[in-house]
Amino acid sequence: MAAANQTCIFCQIVNDPNSTTRLLHTDEKVVAFQDIKPAARRHYLVIPKEHIPTARDLQRRDEDYSLVSHMLSVGQELLLKDAPQTIHRFGFHLPPFNSVDHLHLHCFALPFMPRWKVIKYKSLGPFGCFIEAEKLLEKIRPLPSKV
């Protein structure tokens, strides 16, 4: 497990028992909370407790795939509970477009507010900036072992 980064605001949320951030979910792997600058009707962040800088630091390993799958599952559960009648979207910013160097899944109940925010969370294929969670899972899915 990577050591907490003392200057990372998300590590502080995870590790400070006096944090004023209201956690929507917490378990042994992740915590979830509302984005401080919501870009949609509902906008939650799911972050690992372990400090992982960005989605580019993930590899084709069982533990990385399991973590991202779990993050997505938590985000889906939160939005199904809080905004069941809306369209949901999930994804990660890629460097240099991420605002915090701590892996975080954006969980949206659409529409974006204001509408122009859709640009900030648009997948631009190989030009990167935002990658859908399912697409990231495809990229880091472990290869079948050769027996």
Determine whether 104 is an active site residue: no
Indicate which residue of 93, 102, 104, 106 is catalytic: 106
Question: With the C-alpha atoms ordered 31, 20, 100, 87, is the resulting torsion angle positive or negative?
Answer: positive
CA 67 to chain centre: 10
Q: Who's near 101: CB < 8 A, 6+ residues apart?
A: 5, 8, 53, 54
d(Cα 48, Cα 66) in Å, to the nearest integer?
Answer: 11
Residue 57 DSSP one-character state? G
Active site residues: 106
